[in-house]
Structure 1
Amino acid sequence: MSRTRRHATGPLGHFGRRAVLAGAAGISAGAIVGRMRTAARAATLAAAGTGAVHGTEPRGLYLTTQNRLAEGRFGLMFKKLPVYAPSDALLDGLARTMVEDQTVPDDSLLNTSQRLFAGFTFIGQFIDHDITFDNTPLDQQEADPYATTNFRTPRYDLDSVYGRGPAGDPQFYDPTDPDKLLVTPNVHGVLDVPRDAAGRAIIPELRNDENLIVVQLHQAIARFHNRVVDHERSQGVRREWVFEAARRLVRWHYQWAVIHDFLPRIVGDALVGPAGTVYKEVAGKPPVINLKYYRPTNKDGRPFMPVEFAVAAYRFGHSLIRPFYVINQASLDRGGVPVFGEDGGFNLNGGRPVPADLVIEWKYILPVDPTFPARKPRRLDTRLSLPLTTLPGSVVPPPDPTVHLAVRNTLRGKHVGLPSGQQVARAMREPVLSNATLGLSGDPGWGGEAPLWYYVLKEAELPPNNAERLGAVGGRIVAEVLVGLLQRDPTSYLYLDPAWKPTTPIAPTTGQFGFAELLKFAGAA
């Protein structure tokens, strides 16, 4: 694989409940698919898993039901493992037990990790939207409903923020300074993304406006870009190169934060860190990367999104969601802001200008102030917050009767052809947890196996992970996919300059950069 280095001074070659689903689940389809013009077109795409009808599935998710060896936008990580297909009734029954015990004190439901904070749930949602962002033109989507030829390669390069750049998508940029993204005071007088007269966000990835936390993260990243533009100009970068130079630096800092900040908190240092078995830091040298299972086999080596990641392992985030959040003093005074509520109320519903009393003070949910105790997410276990068991019509329109998120997840795993958790553990040569250890019934319908999503969550819940981080199977899938996507992205730091590290003034010191530092440099925290 050839690598060409380019330098910053030269040209570069409703949260309503909707957002709970779109977050770590990755099950929204994006704005383009939602604008279907005929029922026939919608039906064709829905059959391939596009989400055209209900906005619930990314295009191409069901490719694996047609060909288990195929790799398009999606594919299988473990192509030789059989489909695990217990009865729908058995899966439904299991899923309905996956609800947190309402008799247990709230404090006992919080994550005890000293490294994981409530804001990382939403960072995970933002990353998911970035990876699954699909800007393929509608006619090409219709011609390729299984996303085998015409699709945006999964990568986290902030296309969900930049779109096609100031020339291709000028509506996202400051008309007085097109090198900068547009951030402007809204009708409530607070900084916000641009919006139309109805209050809808004018951003490339509309899922980022589905809750007030993610849209404010989107806005903070836009402000980070604008600060980097100022920095590049101060360094004498030629005017015609400023945008591309700034975008490259922003992408690389964001990618660094995903790998060095978000990922170790979720999967642990044993997989990603100074002694990581997937991504190992080596002083003064490029990292050592060891991908055992995520190995695209298509002729171009083009990355794909494994369904084991998209439909099981990366849905760990559903377990982290709390029913209420403290995001600022106003929400603290009111006992927290609910994730769901009536449109326009005191809740985290998106699709509207950010209200003045719901502007995030990031120190409440991320470690931006070492003297201030940031809030925790839920435990990482096999339970979901009670509100996730009753999804509204905006997510599950009639006549679809399945409004329980855990039911939808377990059934989807079967219908896309996932293997069982134990099958994946055996393929990885990891210790295999029995159904008795997992707490599953002895019903012979299980065949001694468990759904992969449930297995990943229970593995995280049990020692030695103790509901703080993912375990051997779930952690390995998540780590290999996020590292592998970055390694195969020809614009990433890991591809172009793997020894690169963030430096001052953007980072406080060389190599010290995460999402807290991003927010601080942006002026958002």
Structure 2
Amino acid sequence: MATTSNGPRPDQGSSEQPAAANVPKAVADVGLDVPSQPFLDEQLHGQTTRTTKRSRRTKDDTGPASTNTSEPVAETTDPAHVHASVQALAARIEPEAPVPLATLPDEIRQSVTALQPGRRSTHGSKYSLAYFPGPQVRRPCGDRFGYLTTARTRSATRLPFTAANRGLLTALGTAMAAPGRDAPIADSTIDAGMTYAGQFIDHDITLDVSSSLDISTDANTVHNMRSPSLDLDSVYGRGPALDPFLYDMPGPGANPTAIKMQLGTNLPSGPGGPGGPAGSVGMVQHADRDVPRLLGSAHTAIIGDPRNDENLVVVQLHHTMLRFHNAVVDAVLASGFSGDVFVEAKRIVTHHYQWAVVHDFLRAVCGPTAVSSAMSSVSAPPNSAFRMPVEFSVAAYRFGHSMIRDTYWLNFNFPAGTLAQVFQFNRNPHLPVRSNWVVDLNAFFPTGIPVPVFNKARKIDTGIAAGLEHLPGFTGMMEMLAVRNLLRGLALGLPSGQGVARAFGITPLTAAQLTAGLPAPEQAALSAAGGVLLTRTPLWYYVLREAAVLKGGNRLGPVGARIVAETFARMLKRDPDSFVNQPGGFVPILPGASAGAFTFADLVTFTRMNLP
């Protein structure tokens, strides 16, 4: 059985580092001892290993710095409109940066641009670690990514980080999203709501802001900026004491601990959302079914994780989670609870959410057998060491990308909303979310209220919805999701799908199974260069293909299911506060369709987001 690497690898920490901000191109295989951002120290301290001559001034030199006019000059502000003290300071700032913006990885430069209100996209965004609090980045005990498989398995089965292999993977990713590749659309048996529940869950446990497609990187050096536990920090942030802007504090005379979450408003645009049992005539013009947002033109969401404002469906799910907490606060108050209402409500919300993740989401995508096996076999004592495995975060858990549809029944107004609209109507000038675009979650989760079309997720396979190949806010390689996923796995040195299968004691897929029934361009991409991708198949692609071949696209296959289920089991077991570590065990107490159970559909119903 494969083991989890929870500490630094023996070969980690090489003293050799590339020149500052020189993003090494893959001309030959590169070792994985490179930190995720080798230019960080220069950004923070001005250290340099560059040979370019830089102008310097002494501390007594108050004159303007000399500049090399042959190099690009940064944009400046008109001195006539700058305060004299600002001009004085500007004269003392060295204009030649130790790490010029143009030399930063393309992902970082595009991600910063994509934050602008007109584009606003956070999907896969990468930023300089200097944007984040120093202790969060510098401390050796900070959360990191790591590996599930052994170094031997990875080195023996990974694709070398070379220009040739980058070309092979680019061709494969392009074939996966070729026009018409996934037509006709094949529905799975999985509810479409699980696609977006999976995205919400991902934003609760992982956030890689620093790894690059262009740097061969040891995952142990990559920071995870989310807590690797299902603690809903994407909702609660750092709590009401440190992030009070997320919360609706009780007024005078109210229980001071009955702290709720802030809710947003809607842009009045007519009836929308669920019609309830009455159907379309039951729709109303909602005024409070969005997340809270800053006033002004940007309408930035005031939530614990900005990625949950990425598209219309996931932001409506985040709004549902805010209502979930508030409804539980009301229930705790009604019970006459004598303790801290917020603490008790958060505990109830978190435990029921965790239960739904295991018993609803995981059982749907991994299958009951894989989930039961993982929950019974994984050993992870409370507070034990853990690094989020990139075999999970960069490969197996990205199965959800293949489940996304090009069109959805969103509500009675929009029976065939396109994926482009799902992104468009979560951006200006349509913010706050328009009242007529409020999503009818009865079409995503089986609440028992009928709708004309109940959305099913696409089958898990290697076809990617065409709408995902033009992600808003990005251009070039950054907007091509399938290519990015494949190159990310290459840069982080992931083992092949065959290598993981053998490590698990599972018979790998054959070349015939990998290629059977695929379009000719995809078969050609797999067979190129002597068929290296058929023997060292990228783990993400292998997981998708395994699901399609062995499970008809209706759930993950044995390798993918084991990686996903065991990672969740380990996260829950090592968290002393999770539902699995509650004294005497845990049984849901909130109302559900079945006694002793709780699903995401029950959560939607409890919050009354299934009704007008």
Tell me the TM-score range normalised by the shorter chain: 0.7 to 0.9
User: Are 1:218 and 2:304 counterparts?
Assistant: no
CA contact (8 A) 1:132 1:154 kept: yes
Comparing 439-448 with 401-410, which one deviates more in the overlay?
439-448
User: Are 1:125 and 2:199 counterparts?
Assistant: yes
Alignment match of 2:548 (pick from 433, 457, 461): 461
Matches within 5 A, 1:236-315: 236-238=336-338, 241-272=340-371, 276-279=372-375, 289-291=376-378, 301-315=384-398
CA contact (8 A) 1:60 1:148 kept: no
Equivalent position of 2:280 in the other structure: none
Q: Give the match's secondary structure for 1:264.
A: helix
Q: Give the match's secondary structure for 1:501.
A: coil
Q: Give the match's secondary structure for 1:112.
A: strand
CA contact (8 A) 2:404 2:457 kept: yes
Structure 1 residues 357 and 110 mapped into 2: Cα distance closer, same or farther (>3 Å)?
farther
What's the CA shift string for 1:364-421, capped at 9, x where partnerless? Answer: 11111165562111111011011222344x134xxx5453211111111110110000
Comparing 96-105 with 469-478, which one deviates more in the overlay?
96-105
Structure 1 residues 110 and 366 mapped into 2: Cα distance closer, same or farther (>3 Å)?
farther
Q: Displacement, 1:524?
A: 0.9
User: Are 1:76 and 2:174 counterparts?
Assistant: no
TM-score, normalised on structure 2? 0.65
CA contact (8 A) 2:250 2:259 kept: no
Structure 1 residues 498 and 449 mapped into 2: Cα distance closer, same or farther (>3 Å)?
farther
User: Are 1:425 and 2:501 counterparts?
Assistant: yes
For residues 490 and 181 of structure 2, the distance between their equivalents in structure 1, rounded to whole angstroms, comes to 32
CA contact (8 A) 1:180 1:226 kept: yes
Structure 1 residues 104 and 314 mapped into 2: Cα distance closer, same or farther (>3 Å)?
closer
For residues 200 and 290 of structure 1, the distance between their equivalents in structure 2, rounded to whole angstroms, comes to 43
Equivalent position of 1:182 in the other structure: 262
Alignment match of 1:408 (pick from 461, 466, 484): 484
Alignment match of 2:465 (pick from 376, 385, 409): 385
CA contact (8 A) 2:513 2:549 kept: no
Equivalent position of 2:445 in the other structure: 366
Q: What amino acid maps onto 2:576 in structure 1?
A: P
What's the CA shift string for 1:457-498, capped at 9, x where partnerless? Answer: 0000113x0011110001110111112111111221112347
Matches within 5 A, 1:491-506: 491-497=577-583, 499-503=585-589, 505-506=590-591
CA contact (8 A) 1:60 1:147 kept: no
Equivalent position of 2:273 in the other structure: none
Alignment match of 2:309 (pick from 199, 209, 217): 209
Q: Give the match's secondary structure for 2:458.
A: coil
Comparing 121-130 with 227-236, which one deviates more in the overlay?
227-236
Q: What amino acid maps onto 1:414 in structure 2?
A: L
Matches within 5 A, 1:100-115: 102=180, 106=184, 109-113=185-189
Structure 1 residues 267 and 247 mapped into 2: Cα distance closer, same or farther (>3 Å)?
same
User: Are 1:484 and 2:584 counterparts?
Assistant: no
CA contact (8 A) 2:383 2:574 kept: no
Q: Give the match's secondary structure for 1:194.
A: coil
User: Are 1:518 and 2:573 counterparts?
Assistant: no
Structure 1 residues 174 and 486 mapped into 2: Cα distance closer, same or farther (>3 Å)?
same
User: Are 1:191 and 2:289 counterparts?
Assistant: yes
Equivalent position of 1:355 in the other structure: 434
What's the CA shift string for 1:231-290, capped at 9, x where partnerless? Answer: 11122212x510000000000000000000001100111212xxx3213xxxxxxxxx21
CA contact (8 A) 1:435 1:441 kept: no
Alignment match of 2:300 (pick from 178, 200, 208): 200
For residues 434 and 388 of structure 1, the distance between their equivalents in structure 2, rounded to whole angstroms, comes to 29
Q: Give the match's secondary structure for 1:377.
A: strand
What's the CA shift string for 1:106-152, capped at 9, x where partnerless? Answer: 4xx23232xx11111111110011112599xxxxxxxxx97679965
Structure 1 residue runs without a partner (length 5+): 1-28, 62-69, 136-144, 280-288
Q: What amino acid maps onto 1:233 in structure 2?
A: L
Equivalent position of 1:21 in the other structure: none
Q: Give the match's secondary structure for 2:420.
A: coil
For residues 221 and 110 of structure 2, the distance between their equivalents in structure 1, rounded to whole angstroms, comes to 14
Structure 1 residues 134 and 313 mapped into 2: Cα distance closer, same or farther (>3 Å)?
closer
Structure 1 residues 498 and 72 mapped into 2: Cα distance closer, same or farther (>3 Å)?
farther
Matches within 5 A, 1:37-186: 56=124, 72-80=143-151, 81-83=153-155, 84-85=158-159, 87-99=165-177, 102=180, 106=184, 109-113=185-189, 116-132=190-206, 152-176=226-250, 179-186=259-266
Q: What amino acid maps onto 1:405 in structure 2?
A: L
For residues 469 and 127 of structure 1, the distance between their equivalents in structure 2, rounded to whole angstroms, comes to 17
Structure 1 residues 126 and 433 mapped into 2: Cα distance closer, same or farther (>3 Å)?
same
For residues 91 and 227 of structure 1, the distance between their equivalents in structure 2, rounded to whole angstroms, comes to 48
Structure 1 residues 424 and 133 mapped into 2: Cα distance closer, same or farther (>3 Å)?
closer
Q: What amino acid maps onto 2:167 in structure 1?
A: A
For residues 556 and 449 of structure 2, the distance between their equivalents in structure 1, rounded to whole angstroms, comes to 25
Comparing 208-217 with 347-356, which one deviates more in the overlay?
347-356
Structure 1 residues 436 and 204 mapped into 2: Cα distance closer, same or farther (>3 Å)?
same
For residues 40 and 78 of structure 1, the distance between their equivalents in structure 2, rounded to whole angstroms, comes to 38
Equivalent position of 2:21 in the other structure: none
Q: Max radius of gyration: which structure?
A: 2
For residues 89 and 112 of structure 1, the distance between their equivalents in structure 2, rounded to whole angstroms, comes to 32
Q: What amino acid maps onto 2:479 in structure 1?
A: V
Equivalent position of 2:511 in the other structure: 435
- How many residue pairs end up in the alignment? 444
For residues 103 and 442 of structure 1, the distance between their equivalents in structure 2, rounded to whole angstroms, comes to 19
For residues 150 and 97 of structure 1, the distance between their equivalents in structure 2, rounded to whole angstroms, comes to 31
CA contact (8 A) 2:208 2:223 kept: no
For residues 511 and 100 of structure 2, the distance between their equivalents in structure 1, rounded to whole angstroms, comes to 40
For residues 418 and 104 of structure 1, the distance between their equivalents in structure 2, rounded to whole angstroms, comes to 26
Q: Give the match's secondary structure for 2:361.
A: helix
What's the CA shift string for 1:145-202, capped at 9, x where partnerless? Answer: 9767996531111111111222221111114456111124334224222111132211
Structure 1 residues 182 and 42 mapped into 2: Cα distance closer, same or farther (>3 Å)?
farther
For residues 461 and 182 of structure 2, the distance between their equivalents in structure 1, rounded to whole angstroms, comes to 14
For residues 41 and 257 of structure 1, the distance between their equivalents in structure 2, rounded to whole angstroms, comes to 46
TM-score, normalised on structure 1? 0.76
For residues 458 and 248 of structure 2, the distance between their equivalents in structure 1, rounded to whole angstroms, comes to 39
What's the CA shift string for 1:68-92, capped at 9, x where partnerless? Answer: xx99520000023124125111111
What is the CA RMSD across the aligned residues, in angstroms? 3.7
Q: Displacement, 1:99?
A: 2.5
CA contact (8 A) 2:261 2:322 kept: yes
For residues 359 and 428 of structure 1, the distance between their equivalents in structure 2, rounded to whole angstroms, comes to 44
Q: What amino acid maps onto 1:243 in structure 2?
A: F
Q: Give the match's secondary structure for 1:166.
A: coil
Structure 1 residues 121 and 477 mapped into 2: Cα distance closer, same or farther (>3 Å)?
same
